[in-house]
Structure formats: C-alpha cells, structure tokens
A and B are shown apart, each in its own frame.
Chain A
C-alpha cells in the first residue's frame, strides 16, 4: 500500500475514534444528569406527591396545583398560538410571497425566534398584565407563552408548506380550484406532518418555560386549583425552582422528584405527538 493510502486509512480510523469519544462524552453527561436526578428524587415520586397541595412541610408538599396550572397554561397557550401561527405561516408562504409586508414580517419573525424568553416575560408584563389589566392570571401567562412559541409554529408551518411540491398546486388549479380551495384541500393536508412537528416543538418549549412566567406573576405558592382563565396560578417549573431555593434538604428531594415528573410528562407528550405524526406520514407517503 502506498504511503498516501496508509495515511488516509489512519486518519479515517482516528476520526472514527474521535467521533465515538465525543458522542460518549455527550451521552455520559446526559446519563449522569438524569442518573443524579433519579437517585435524588425517584423514591419521592408517589401518588401523594402527585395529588398533594404545596405545603411548608416538605414531606407533605405535592405538585397537584402545579400540574393543574401547567395543563391550564398549555391549553390556553395552544388555543391562542396554533391557529394564529398556522394561518400566519400559510399567509406568508402562499399569499404574501412577494409583498413588502411579508418580507418585513419574515425578517422579524426569524429574529424573534432567537430572543431570550425572559424578554417575552417583560413584554407580557407590560402588555397583558398591566395595560390590558389581566393581572397575573393564567390568561396573561398563556398569552405571553403564545407570543413566545408563535415564531416556532410560523417557521415550521412555512417550511412544511414550502416543502409541498408546486406540481400539486398546479394540478389543483388546473382542475378549476381557487387558491383557497387549493390551500385548504391540497397544501394543508400535505404539509400537516411538518406543521404537527412545529406544534410538538413549541409545546415542549412552552412547558419548560420558567423565567417569563415568573416575570408575569406566576406565584410560587398556590394552594388552590385555578378554576378559570383569570385565576392566579403556578406551574411545575416554577414549583421546582421555588423548592430549590429552600434550604431544607427534603425540598431538594422534592425538586428532584418534580423534575422527574416533568421529564416524564415531556417524553409522553413528545411520544404522542410523534406517533400521530408518523401515522399521518404513513397515510400520506407510502
């Protein structure tokens, strides 16, 4: 074998080893983190933990209200963000393509997706909590979160719609369909998988947000279940955060347990959404 060939072979093997090493490091870090949490909190996760109200006593404290708050927040966030996000995405991609307005919006949306989430909290505080007088209600929190995740939904909707081949639109129009009929009957169904992905991503993001919620007034200690959108609330990340600030060691355990519940919740949500998306792709692709 020539000199060059053997050097190339060595480089090849080296690269492989380096890649494996780095992957291992990354995975190891993840394993260590999760392992640590599990060790700390696994024992604490039981039925009472899930259904108890918060308490000053660590062993009596539970995440019931936090869960309720999180679910309520999620519902209202989705109701607001999904329709607006999808329709905006469709408008930008199908209708507004060449207008200055669309381009202006497009540039800004890309920027918005990268803005730190706490900024949204400040915006929400001024706009929803104070100016419109919603106070520190679930509605204010949801609207703030909706603003935060909307760019994600818009961008993924746009990408999904863009990925629909133009030949399908042409085929539809050639049959005498109007633009709206084409969007509604051909483009949307074909891009649904991508749109669903966007919704999944944004849901995961919304669940895990802590900073903006603190800014708009999610309380740390909420001993009641929110009954309406105007009620005060808390959410699981906030509850966890709150526990980690307490000095007692038992609260650290609680925090770890809360994190485990959060992780499980996130995984479940993703799993459901991914299953739905795969089922959809199967219908559409084969």
Chain B
C-alpha cells in the first residue's frame, strides 16, 4: 500500500518517470527494474557503455519500441503522472507531444520548409500563415533561420551534417512537444557542429524537458543538470551531474567515468 502511494508520488512529481520498468526482447531482458523520475525543464543525460540499454530506455518514453517485434514491457512509464502504456492511450497523439532527434540526421528528401512543417501537416494544419510563422519560429529556435531563410524551398539534403541535425531539431520542436528525446544527437558531427548543437540544447531547456543519450561523458558533463549511469540494463546511479562527476557513490560509476571500465 505504501509502495503504491510512493509510486504515485514519484509519478506525479515528475514530468517523466519510470517505475520498476523491465523490457524484454523475446527471452532476452534488456532493461532491469528501472525506477527514476525526471523533472520538467531539466536536461537529463543517460550515459553508459554500448549495449547498456540507455537508448532502449529512451525509446520507451515515446513508445518507439512498439515498432520492434517481440518486445514486452513490465512496470510503468508515466508522462505528467499518467501511464503511457495504458490501453486507452492514442500512441500517435502521445508521440506528437514528444519530439525525438536521432543519431544520424534524418531529414526527409523534401524542401527545408516541408521538413519543418511535416508535423503540422500530418495534423491537418493548412493555414499558410500559421505554417510560415511556425517555420520561422522553429528554425530560429534551432539557430538555423539566418542560414536558410532565403532558401527554404531548397532540398534539405543539400545542407551540411550539422545543419541537417539542427533542421531535425527544428522539425521536432515545430509541433511544440513538451519533451525532447535525443539519441546521441551530435555523435555523427564534427566538433564545431557538436558545440553548436550543445549550446542549442542548453538554450532549449526553458521550453522543453530534455533527455539526451550520449556516449560522450564530457558532453553529458557539460550540458546536463542530472546524469543517469546505466550498465547491462540496470540503472546504477542517478544524481546531479556535478556530484556524479566529482564524487560518484558507486564504484561502477567511478570506474566508467574515469575510464578504468573494461
């Protein structure tokens, strides 16, 4: 009884939460009993070695794991206190409230303009003025407007890698989600583009709750408020970033961040 009300407390206090979440690919268990809460308007980083389950966990929040056959979930994931795996949930509406940016920039082979308005287009928005304004707002927030404002109808594929990724960010934020999930958003980019993306992510904190998976610990250290360390599907440590990188509580965490791991 007490456990249940504690769970509810965790769920409602946080923007996003997981409660005893386990995930199985067929027989193989990829996530083990994960419990954590993420507060609104924070940047949370998930770090850990390859295959530790951080991307899998990230994809639970927008139910993109549903697309993989043989996936099974135990436990609970909530957004704004409500279980997102409940039967009545409209997955498509849910995904509209959660934006996702992938490791490799994936702009559609369409114009820059059409890319940004895609989310509105599938919602049936047809008003030219609304679309135009959204494009300008989103591209400005993504620090791309000045570079492309005169070429909105050129193909998105003509942009450089860093610009494409900022375009993907603009596309994700155009539908004004409340949460942004980013799966290694800068790992395919050169250092200068990476720095720009990091500054951009920090600037977005005021408007979104951001969760970012990264294999680059320094990146997690630079931009996140809280960091979660995962290992073999388990959540090992989850605390303020400053604390995790100066005085981690668990030996496994310290071994990983000092590079003594493996």
Contact = CB atoms under 8 A, between A and B. Distances in A.
Q: Do A and B bind each other?
A: yes
Interface of A: 98, 165, 167-168, 170-178, 181, 185-186, 189-190, 283-286
Given A170-B106, A189-B109, A175 B118 contact: yes
A167 B67 contact: no
B126 interface: no
Interface string B108-141: 1110000000110111000000000000000000
B102 A170 contact: yes
Nearest to A190: B109
A171 B108 contact: yes
Interface of B: 62, 64, 67, 69, 92-96, 98-100, 102, 104, 106-110, 118-119, 121-123, 154-155, 157-158, 168, 171-172, 175
Contacts of B67: 170, 173
24 contacts: A167-B102, A167-B106, A168-B108, A170-B106, A171-B108, A171-B171, A172-B108, A174-B62, A174-B64, A175-B96, A175-B118, A175-B122, A176-B119, A176-B122, A176-B123, A177-B92, A185-B122, A189-B109, A190-B108, A190-B109, A283-B155, A285-B155, A286-B154, A286-B158
A286 B159 CA distance: 10
Given A168-B106, A190-B109, 14 more contacts: A167-B102, A167-B104, A170-B64, A172-B108, A173-B67, A174-B64, A174-B98, A174-B102, A175-B95, A175-B171, A176-B175, A190-B108, A284-B155, A286-B154
Contact of A173 (B64, B93, B110, B158): B64
Contacts of A178: 92, 122
Top 8 A-B residue pairs of the complex, sorted by shortest distance between their CB atoms: A176-B96, A174-B100, A167-B106, A176-B95, A284-B109, A171-B106, A175-B119, A286-B155
Given A181-B122, A190-B108, A286-B158, A171 B168 contact: yes
A53 B172 CA distance: 64
A138 B139 CA distance: 56
A168 B118 CA distance: 12
Contacts of B168: 171
A174 B109 contact: no
A217 to B, nearest CB: 46
Contact of B92 (A168, A171, A176): A176
B69 A172 contact: no
Nearest to A186: B108
A114 B128 CA distance: 50
Contacts of A190: 108-109
A175 B109 CA distance: 16
B185 to A, nearest CB: 13
B100 to A, nearest CB: 4
Contact of A285 (B96, B121, B157): B157
A98 B69 contact: yes
A171 to B, nearest CB: 4
Contacts of B106: 165, 167-168, 170-171
